[in-house]
Each structure stands twice: as structure tokens, then as C-alpha cells.
Structure 1
């Protein structure tokens, strides 16, 4: 399930001289140097590091044109909200940003560089006590977020005057502009990019699930490559949608508080210098039910060794949250019906998405069989609730 987003950091969207002139005009100060170190990268950004004589380094995150405007607004809004409300979370300062391409030809976020090195690069140098301290700080951060509930599900958005409020859903299962241009624009000219987005914010998780399934139905109906799949999957998705109208189902799905979550707390997004000094990459952060709050990739990295250790570290995180805030820990259990539904919705997305791209044919067969089996389990749970 790879994406062209992985290669954007390897491109050269802007010459360093262009970045230098832009920063001088924007800040009124000439940078001493502008570089793009290959070891500093992000999947959806090209990173330029600018050094200044007296004011420290700045990171210019030039955005891949993946989800125009909304992804940048979400990132800036989430960083700004965390800085305003979560003192336990060391978050970079936003110096300037733009959700348009008017200034640079790309959307961008200009951040003040934070101290420390990413834990994914230095975790072998940390002692067990060091990692325990990281886990404690992450627990404090998550607990603080859990104590500030929202009334809608989605991302955040920020106005040009700085007003922050719930906004459209921005997530890694969003359809991106390069996907639209490659698989839709020429052969399906009646389909607009906006029709492939979820929108939002949503009143509750049931409404979000419905939007996810309705988008899959739209893609099934609209894309030529989905013609054969449509006969099999369309009625199953409609059956799933119908189940979401039942009051008892909604009650079990919508019972959890809605809280802000970073949603990408792998070691590469955590900075360390004798303590946790930075939490980076807020582009896919947003408001989610608390039982979906800590994602599977928490504390993972780019090696199997890190991922093996992450299992223990996540368990320590759960224990730390339980010790510090048992009332929050009690809310983290996910009802079986929601667990099954999340699996089904993930499967429908990937089956449909990879049908459009004509990739992973063998996997699609396995996913479809898994979908059928999981749907049977889900229907049994629904029947019990009725």
C-alpha cells in the first residue's frame, strides 16, 4: 500500500537560491545558508533548513500538492492548538505559512527548528530510564489532550486571522491530487477531485463511517475499472450502510468522547535531548474518538528491531496512562462492533483504491475474502444488539 508521497522528499521543487530570496523577502533578514539535508525528510514535504546569524535555524516545509489547501490548514491549526492548550507537548513555533501557491508555487509551513535528534536515529543510545521518561512525557501529552474534548470529528482548520475550529477530515486514506490526475482526470472528466474527499467535520463516528462507505460506493459506480468489482462489493457495502441506521448500533459506536490525537507518534516524529524536546509532523492529526486515539505505529520506526520494541513501549504507555488517569484509561477499550467496522471500512477502501490503480491483485482477492468473513462476524454482533 505504497504511494508516490514517499518520493516527494527526493525531488527538487525549489532551487536553494529561490528559497533564500523568499526568506529574505518574508523575514527581512538574509539567511547565512539554505540547505536541504538528505537525512531530514518527510513523506509529504521537501525540507529546507535556513540558518541565521542571531535567530537560530528555520525549517521550511514545502508541501507536496496532495490535498490542496486543507492539509496545510490542518497542520498549522493542529500545531497552533497544541501550543496553546497542551504545555506538556513540545511543539514547533509556526513563523509563517500559506495554504496557497501564490508565494512559492507550493504551499508551505515555516517552523522554528527545535532542539534534539529524532529518536528513530538514536534509540540505541538511550537507556531504559531514558525511554521510560519519553513514555511518561507522551502519556502526559495524551492525557492533557483527552481532557479537552471536542463536539465533532475531523481535522482542524485555521482562518487567515487565526481562528481555529473543527474542519475537514485529513487522513492517509484520503485520495490525493496525483492519484486523481493519473487515474481519473483524463478518462473520467465528469468526476471532480472534491468528490473523492470525505469533507467534514462530522457530528459523530457513525456519520464519519457513513461518509467513508458512501465514497467507496461513489468510486465503485464512477470508475471503469470497478465494473466487475461493483457487482460483488456494492450490495455488501449497502448492507453495511443500512446497519448503521439502527439505534443500538449507533449507541455503541458513538459512546466515546472526541479528542485531539497526533495520530503519527512514530520515533522519527519525536525529538530527544536528555528529555522529549519536540513532537513533529502534525499534518494528519485530528479529532477522533478516544478509543482510536493511540495508533498502531506509536513508537515504531524504520526497522524491525524498533517495531519489536514498540510493542513493549506501547504497553508501558497504556500502564502509565492507567496509573496517572484511570478514568481516561477506562475509556480506551473499543467495543467489538466498532473494531469489526473499522476493519471492514479499511478493507473496502483498499480493495476499491487498488482496483482503480490496478495494483496488488492477489492481495485484493485475500482482502475481499477477509471482508466477507469479517462482515459475517459483524452481522452476528449486530443481531445480538438488536
Structure 2
């Protein structure tokens, strides 16, 4: 693993600034997990290609005496939490990947091998009883004071991120259609929930049913260590910690807007835009209820990736595919979907809102058109077919408003003058008026 001084530096505003695992720490993890194996190599994902996590690629040789043959090598990925995140994010991604493994086993998503919520203790699913229990191992660290914000060890999927490739419209349309089939798999097969948000392991101190349960044949009274039952609590992407369940779309929006308003009022970066506080406060208290009348029963929430971007979609181009005019093959196959760290259960429209707002412009028109078309063919509602037009109009504008109250990407790497210009752009969105227009329509 090259020393930090030989790699481009991580910007100080990034969550992974200052977050590293030493070679000796990684070796200690593997000594606990694989005492009969050899850690062949450790490399780090280059700077600028991961924002929330420090990523290490690992090659593990399954030793046989003193010999290791190439066919016995395993490629793994170690994903280390950025400094603003804690055990909630670890639990959420582990839970989401476990849910997909159970309900959508055909999907090319990583398989969790082990994780640590505190950087000092490893949790390992028990393969012998279909994950029904977890066991813990201490990490034999030389430096007993070493602390890290947690990590997940998972299988490394083949392929390159779509964002790193230059592909024609035919290839991108194929990728969009393939992506739709994978999204449809979890939309149609993963059970819906009555609670909204991210996932936590079923806590031993909670009495009552879980929100989503992997059927292992055990009774409702769960034995100690059972870990494949999950509750839905909190909103990781908004920095909202677990508290009481969120059971309606109205409640979801109210909690998110209140959190954004608090940022606007308290974070110095956003001080120039505090003139918006009265309008936004009034919008939260008086208008949201008109937009989302309180339902008679709880709303239903669906499994949502929440970051289906080209950077999180891996593809390979098989040999023997039809070449384009320049003789290059143009039929890539999706070999992996990654980064389920903010996935969870959300309203059906919210995956698309995130595509249009936070990830706006990431996908080519050809890819996204094919994606929406194929989803509709598979009877998954989209903004173009199935989601009520007025509902989509309001949800999209709410997404724009949310993105401009206290933008998560500021101050980022901008100068003070550039931050001011970005905040001025946010004010020019004329957010609240747009929402009242939607309300009056």
C-alpha cells in the first residue's frame, strides 16, 4: 500500500480525511478471521473516487502448507466508515445486503463476510445456521489505543464503474434496461414496511415484532444473538439519528425539513441565507399538512437504493460482443451494484427524486429513458408511468427545496467567494413560491 505522501491528498472537508487503517491493523483483522491464510496484497482506492468511506482492496491467498496457487486467491473489499458516521451506518448496510441476499439472491451485490462497529471487535455471521447467530472476535491490535469508526469486509465484485467508461447510446440503453430489471427485483420481492428510513439490528431491549424479518424458522421471542431481524429507524442521509418510527410521508417530510431548517439556523456557512427561515418555518407548520393529508392508515414504504448512480454500477464488456464502428464491443453487462450504505425503506417516488435532484445528469438520456421504460414494462411505477403526476410534481419540488436550504456539499472545496455565489444560487431557486404554486394547482 503506497504511503500517503505518494498519493493525492484527501480534501480536509471529506469524511475520510484522516481516516486510515494501517497495514498492521488490516493484518490483525485477517489474523483473527483467516489464521490459515495469507494476506497477499493491500491497495487503496485512489483519492477522489470515494467520499464517505476509505476503501481498501485485498487479495487473500487460501494457504495450503507454504504454497498458495492463483486459483485459491480471493478478492475482497474493506470499507471503512468516514469520520462523521458511526455504527448505525454499518448496521444499515449489513442489513440491506442481507435482505437482498435473502429475497433477491440472483442480484450481483456484495456479500458481507464480517464487520466491526467499533474497530476493535469483529462480528462474523455464523454460516452453519444460515446466519441465525453472530459471533464476535477481538482484533489483536498492537496499539491498544487504536480506534476507528467501523468497517465492513465484503466480497469484491468484478467490473468497472460506468462513470469511468465512455460508452455509446446503444450500450447505455442496455445498461439502463438491465438496471431496471434489478431494481424491479427488489421492488417486487422485498416485503414493504409500515416504517420509513434506514435499518438497525433488532435490539434485545425491544419487545414486539421487527419491521422486516429474514425467515429462519425461529419464534417471535428471539434468542440472544439472533441478528436477521431488523427495525427501521432514523435517516442516515440526513444525519437524523434513530428515535421513534416514521410511519407516514407527511412525518418523513416534516422531520427532514426541520433538520434542514436547524442546519440553516445554526451552521455558520449558511448564515447568508437565514432570511429564508420565516418562510420555511411557515411552510413546515402550515403547508406540509395540506400537501400530505394525514392518512387513515400507515403509508407503505419500499426498499430503495437511494444512490443508483453510474459510479455505483459496475459493468464488464464480454468478449465476442458486436463491435461498434471503431471495432470496440458495445454490449456491457452489469456485474455489480454497490454502496447500499444509505439504502432503506422509503416512498416509491423517492428513488427517482434522488436521481433527478442529487444525482441529476449523472445518467445519459439514453440510459435513463431505457431504465424508466423497462421499469414500466415490469409494472414498477415511475414518474412517467404509474406515479400520480401531481404527487410527482410535489415530491420533485420538495426535493429541490430540500437540496437548497442547507446544501450538504457546502462549504466543500469552495473558496469563501464561491460559497457565497452558491448560496445566492440557492436563493434564486425561489423555493417556497414554487411549492405554493404546487399547492394551488
Task: Give the alignment of 1:278-297 within 5 angstroms.
Answer: 278-294=336-352, 295-296=354-355
Judged with a 3 Å threshold, the aligned counterparts in structure 2 of structure 1 residues 24 and 380 are, in CA distance, closer, same or farther, namely same
Task: Give the alignment of 1:178-217 within 5 angstroms.
Answer: 197=241, 201-217=245-261
Aligned residues: 347
Cα distance in 2 for partners of 1:18, 1:248 equals 52
- 1:276 corresponds to: 334
| Correspondence 1:378 to 2:435 | yes
Cα distance in 2 for partners of 1:89, 1:268 equals 17
| Correspondence 1:339 to 2:389 | no
Judged with a 3 Å threshold, the aligned counterparts in structure 2 of structure 1 residues 78 and 16 are, in CA distance, closer, same or farther, namely same
The one-character-per-residue Cα deviations of 1:188-247 (angstroms, maximum 9, x if unpaired) are: xxxxxxxx75856411221121112222343455557777754x2332122101234635
| Correspondence 1:170 to 2:178 | no
Contact 2:173 2:366 (8 Å CA) reproduced? no
Does the residue aligned with 1:52 lie in a helix, a strand or coil?
strand
| Correspondence 1:265 to 2:321 | no
Task: Give the alignment of 1:153-168 within 5 angstroms.
Answer: 153-159=196-202, 161-162=226-227, 163-168=229-234
Does the residue aligned with 1:293 lie in a helix, a strand or coil?
helix
Cα distance in 2 for partners of 1:151, 1:132 equals 34
Cα distance in 2 for partners of 1:248, 1:62 equals 40
- 2:420 corresponds to: 361
Cα distance in 2 for partners of 1:225, 1:202 equals 29
Judged with a 3 Å threshold, the aligned counterparts in structure 2 of structure 1 residues 245 and 81 are, in CA distance, closer, same or farther, namely same
Cα distance in 2 for partners of 1:76, 1:213 equals 28
Contact 1:256 1:331 (8 Å CA) reproduced? no
Contact 2:233 2:242 (8 Å CA) reproduced? no
Shift of 1:331: 2.5
TM-score by length of 1: 0.76
Contact 2:193 2:345 (8 Å CA) reproduced? yes
Task: Give the alignment of 1:19-30 within 5 angstroms.
Answer: 19-30=26-37
Judged with a 3 Å threshold, the aligned counterparts in structure 2 of structure 1 residues 206 and 133 are, in CA distance, closer, same or farther, namely same
| Correspondence 1:80 to 2:98 | yes
2:377 pairs with one of 323, 335, 341:
323
The one-character-per-residue Cα deviations of 1:13-64 (angstroms, maximum 9, x if unpaired) are: 1222321222112232333423124449522222222222235122111221
Cα distance in 1 for partners of 2:346, 2:55 equals 28
Unmatched tracts of structure 1, length 5 or more: 175-195
- 2:52 corresponds to: 44
Judged with a 3 Å threshold, the aligned counterparts in structure 2 of structure 1 residues 34 and 66 are, in CA distance, closer, same or farther, namely farther
Shift of 1:132: 4.2
Judged with a 3 Å threshold, the aligned counterparts in structure 2 of structure 1 residues 7 and 97 are, in CA distance, closer, same or farther, namely closer
Task: Give the alignment of 1:63-142 within 5 angstroms.
Answer: 63-103=81-121, 105-106=147-148, 107-124=150-167, 128=170, 130-142=171-183
Cα distance in 2 for partners of 1:223, 1:120 equals 33
| Correspondence 1:151 to 2:183 | no
Unmatched tracts of structure 2, length 5 or more: 1-9, 62-71, 122-145, 203-224, 319-332
TM-score by length of 2: 0.68
Contact 1:83 1:90 (8 Å CA) reproduced? no
Judged with a 3 Å threshold, the aligned counterparts in structure 2 of structure 1 residues 3 and 257 are, in CA distance, closer, same or farther, namely farther
Cα distance in 2 for partners of 1:351, 1:279 equals 24
The one-character-per-residue Cα deviations of 1:70-107 (angstroms, maximum 9, x if unpaired) are: 11111111111111112342111100012223246220
Contact 2:290 2:439 (8 Å CA) reproduced? no
Contact 1:351 1:364 (8 Å CA) reproduced? no
